[in-house]
Amino acid sequence: MAISTVRRIAARLLKVGENRIRIMPGETKRAEEALTTDDIRQLIRDGVVVALRVKGVPRIRAKLKHAKQKKGRRGGSGSRKGTKYSRIPAKDMWKNKTRAQRRLLRELRDGKKLNEGVYRKAYLMVKGNAWRSSAAMLAHFRDSKWIKAEQKPVKQEQ
């Protein structure tokens, strides 16, 4: 049987393309003597006919980079393509900030930490964009004494 036929049948058996089939250099005579598909199967088992591995592209560097990006790394000014507001629209930034401040306000009210009559005033100030962050809002509350003073537990002497 011709080497090209052996190659074609081996490609079908190994489920690869013909270009990936290699016949060991010293064993071409033995490959030519093969008459049936079973003979070629035996040559494959003996290691006379082999399929080359696919080269492929290693993904390890891409995976490591993606893991870092998920952590928030590699986002410096050199990696950014759009403007500040095209990356996160101003409206979305506003929504995130406002929702966070309202959530904090609600927690303070439900925990009875706000002084009387402060909640509605603060809520409207949040709507009016009075603070740039929840931390700034809390700082303002402390400065203007809108938060009830935390009572320290009285130590009982025995």
Identify any residues that bridge with 147 across adjacent strands, giving them in sequence order.
114
Same domain, 92 and 47: no
Under a CB-based contact definition with an 8 Å cutoff, are residues 97 and 130 in contact?
Answer: no
Whether residue 122 lies inside any domain: the answer is yes
Residue 158 domain-assigned (yes or no): no
Does 44 map to a domain? yes
Residue 17 falls within a domain, yes or no?
A: yes
Looking at residue 59, its pLDDT comes to 95
CATH number of the domain encompassing residue 12: 1.10.1650.10
The answer as to whether 157 is a domain residue is no
> What pLDDT does 158 receive?
60
Give residue 91's domain range: 87-143
Q: What is the pTM of this model?
A: 0.55
Residue 74 lies inside a defined structural domain of this protein: no
User: How high does pLDDT run on average in the chain?
Assistant: 93
Judge contact between 8 and 36, C-beta under 8 A: no
CATH of the domain at 135: 1.10.1200.60
For residue 95, being part of any structural domain is answered with yes
- Residue-wise pLDDT for 120-154, tens only, equals 999 999 999 999 999 999 999 999 999 987 766 66
**CA gap 21, 40 in Å, rounded:** 12
> In the chain, what are the helix, strand and coil shares in percent, each to the nearest 5?
60, 5, 35
Instruction: Tell me: do 46 and 91 sit in the same domain.
Output: no
H/E segment holding residue 124: helix 119-127
Task: Check pLDDT > 90 for residue 85.
Answer: yes
Q: Which tokens is 36 given?
A: 């049936």
**57 belongs to a structural domain:** no
Give the span between the Cα atoms of 130 and 146, in whole angstroms.
15
- Number of structural domains the chain divides into: 2
Q: First-to-last CA distance in the chain?
A: 106
Structure token digits, residue 80:
């950014």
In this prediction, residue 152 carries a pLDDT of: 63
Q: What are the residues whose beta carbons fall under 8 Å from the beta carbon of 20, sequence distance 6 or more?
A: 11, 51, 52, 54
